[in-house]
């Protein structure tokens, strides 16, 4: 599945890596920076650009967009949530 980008530009490899980590851990910007060994300002920079490209205005919206577009490689474990529960979470956002 190819993500739909509002401004026509695809995400960079670093933006994708930040989004993957955000979706995997739900970490704060400071925690993402530590996990990815970069400055917190770098995380903010990449998240802001990813938001602009995706048309999202929040971190949560951005993470949900990434998951909905089928780009997040880490799936919820089956025993953590049923498919219906997962769909309900996505629908509610």
CA neighbours within 13 Å on the CB side: how many for 65?
A: 21
The band of 91, judged by pLDDT with boundaries at 50, 70 and 90, is low
**Which domains can be identified in the chain, with CATH numbers?**
13-92 (1.10.10.10)
- What confidence tens digit (pLDDT) does each residue in 42-84 have? 999 999 999 999 999 999 999 988 888 877 665 544 445 555 6
Alpha-carbon span 15 to 27, nearest angstrom: 15
């Amino acid at each position: 599945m190819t993500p739909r980008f509002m401004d026509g530009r695809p995400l960079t490899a670093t933006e994708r890596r930040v989004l993957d980590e955000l979706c995997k851990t739900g970490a704060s910007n400071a925690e993402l920076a530590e996990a990815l060994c970069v400055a917190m300002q770098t995380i903010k920079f990449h998240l802001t650009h990813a938001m602009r490209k995706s048309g999202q205005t929040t971190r949560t919206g951005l993470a949900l967009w990434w998951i909905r577009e089928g780009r997040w490689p880490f799936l919820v474990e089956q025993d953590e949530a049923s498919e219906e529960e997962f769909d309900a979470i996505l629908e509610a956002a």
